[in-house]
Structure 1
Amino acid sequence: MYVIYINDRPLALRELSSPGLYGDTAPDTHLVARYTGKKKSLLNYVDTLEKASQKVTSIELLTDDVEALWADFQSHYRWIEAAGGVVTNTENGKQLFIFRRGSWDLPKGKLDDGEDRPTAALREVEEETGLAELVLGEPLPVTYHTYRGKKNRILKPTYWYRMTTTQQQLVPETEEDILRAEWRHVDEVLRSGDPLYENLRFLLNQYVARS
C-alpha cells in the first residue's frame, strides 16, 4: 500500500486483498473506490483532497495491481526526493523535533545533485539543528506528500532514517524558518494535540510500533 498526503489528507493506493488504511474504524468521511484504470480519473480524487472537502477527508483506491496504479499516479507529478532523520538522544532517550511554519516537524530537506539519501539525511539534520555527531541507523518507512509548483504538480518522497547522538545542544536554523528545536518523546508529541503534519503522524505511529 502507498499512502500519499495531499493537503495533509491521505490518499491510499492498495490491492484488494490487503488491509485497509483504517481497518474497521474508517470515518464517515472516508471514500473507498475501485480504480478504473483511467489515469485522468486520479486527478478527480486529488482535486477532492486539494479542495479540503468536508465530506471527503481521506480516500482509498483499490486495484488488483497496486504497482501499476502507483505508476499511473506518479505520471501526473514531477518527482523530487528528500531525506531526513528521527534522531534519538542516547543521554535522555528523547527524539528531536523542530517547530516551523506553525507546526512541529522533523529535520529534512531535498537531495543535492549527485547526493545519496543517507548523506542527504545526515546533512539536513546537521544544517537544521546543529547536530554534527550523528550515528546513522536503519531506514524508516518512506512518506509521500504533494504540492503545487509553479508549472507542475510535485510528488515528494521523503526517505527517513533512525539516527542517534549524544549531543544535547540544538541550534535551530532560523534561515529555514525553524523557530525552535527541542528534545521530546515521540509518544508525548503524538498525545499532545500540538500541530503536527499528518504524514509525520503516520510515520511516527509506525516508528513507535517498530520500537
Structure 2
Amino acid sequence: MYKVFVNESPLILTNERQDNSNGNLFFLDRDSILMAIDSLAKGRLKEAYIYHPDEEKMLDIFKHKLPVVVAGGGFVTNPKGKVLFIYRNNKWDLPKGKVDKGESIEKAAIREVEEETGVKGLEIDKFLRTTYHVFKRNSEYQLKVVHWFSMYTSYTGKLVGEKEEGIVKVKWKGPKKIKKALKNSYHNIRILFKGWLISEV
C-alpha cells in the first residue's frame, strides 16, 4: 500500500479490493487516476483508492501515468537534538528540492537544504523514506516523489531562508515546538516524525 497526498487528502494505492468503496475506488489507468485526483483536489472526496492486484508493480505503473518530479530533502538535526524547519506558504515544512539532471539524490538533498536554509557542514546519516504528493503546475497534475534523508550538522551560524523559494523563516525546533509546528504542517512531514521523540504526531 502507498499513500499519495492530494491537498492533504490521501490517494491510496492498494492491492486489496475495498468492500465499502462508496464511489471512491478507481482503477490504474490514466483517466481514472486523473478523475480520482480531481475529486480529491476539489474536495468531492476525502480519500480515494486505486486498485491494482500486483503490489510490486502498481507504484511503477502509477508513476508512468503522470509527469514525475524527483526531489531530495533533509530531516536535519544538530548537537542539541533540534530539527531544522522552514516556513513557507503559511506552513511549517522541511527543506527539500528538485534533483538536477545528472545529480545524485543525496547531493541534491544536501544542496537544497543548504540553499533553502543557509546551513553548512551537512552529513547524511541514513535514508529515511520516500513520500508522494500530487501538485498542479501549468494546469497539469504532476507527481512529486521526495526522497528524505536523516542529516546532521554542528553548524551554529545564521539561518537564511531562500526568498526566491518563498521561505520566510528558518528555525531550529526542540520537541515542544516541533509538536506545535506539526499541527500546521503536512501529512508527509508528520509521517517523518513518527516514532521520533514524539508519541502523538
Q: Give TM-score scaled by structure 1 length.
A: 0.80
Shift of 1:205: 2.2
Task: Tell me the residue number matched to 2:53.
Answer: 64
Shift of 1:133: 0.8
Partner letter of residue 168 of structure 1? T
Summarize the Cα distance change of 1:59–1:37 in structure 2 as closer, same or farther, 3 Å threshold: closer
> Are 1:40 and 2:28 matched, yes or no?
no
Structure 2's unaligned 5+ residue stretches are none
1:187, 1:60 → 2: CA distance?
A: 35
Does the CA contact (< 8 Å) of 1:142 and 1:157 recur in 2?
Answer: yes
Shift of 1:206: 6.0
Task: Tell me the residue number matched to 1:23.
Answer: none
Count of residues in Structure 1 that have an aligned counterpart in Structure 2: 196
> Are 1:76 and 2:65 matched, yes or no?
yes
Task: Tell me the residue number matched to 2:16.
Answer: 16
1:152, 1:121 → 2: CA distance?
A: 25
Shift of 1:174: 2.1
1:100 corresponds, among 65, 80, 88, to: 88
> Are 1:176 and 2:161 matched, yes or no?
no
Shift of 1:62: 4.1
2:43 corresponds, among 39, 43, 52, to: 52
Q: Matched residue of 2:50: which SS?
A: strand
2:175, 2:66 → 1: CA distance?
A: 32
- RMSD after superposition: 2.8
Q: Matched residue of 1:140: which SS?
A: strand
Q: Matched residue of 2:156: which SS?
A: coil
Shift of 1:159: 0.8
Q: String of CA shifts for 1:120-141, please: whole Å, max 9, x gaps.
A: 0000111111111111111011
Summarize the Cα distance change of 1:123–1:36 in structure 2 as closer, same or farther, 3 Å threshold: closer
Aligned ranges 1:1-211 → 2 under 5 Å: 1-16=1-16, 36=27, 38-53=29-44, 56-90=45-79, 92-150=80-138, 152-169=140-157, 170-185=159-174, 188-191=177-180, 194-205=183-194
1:177, 1:78 → 2: CA distance?
A: 24
Q: String of CA shifts for 1:8-66, please: whole Å, max 9, x gaps.
A: 2111112339xx9xxxxxxx9x969665555532222212111123xx31223344212
Q: String of CA shifts for 1:61-88, please: whole Å, max 9, x gaps.
A: 3442123332332232111111110000
Shift of 1:157: 0.3
1:36, 1:84 → 2: CA distance?
A: 31
Summarize the Cα distance change of 1:47–1:103 in structure 2 as closer, same or farther, 3 Å threshold: same
Shift of 1:155: 0.8
Partner letter of residue 133 of structure 1? G
Q: Matched residue of 2:49: which SS?
A: strand
Summarize the Cα distance change of 1:48–1:3 in structure 2 as closer, same or farther, 3 Å threshold: same
1:180, 1:82 → 2: CA distance?
A: 21
Does the CA contact (< 8 Å) of 1:128 and 1:176 recur in 2?
Answer: yes
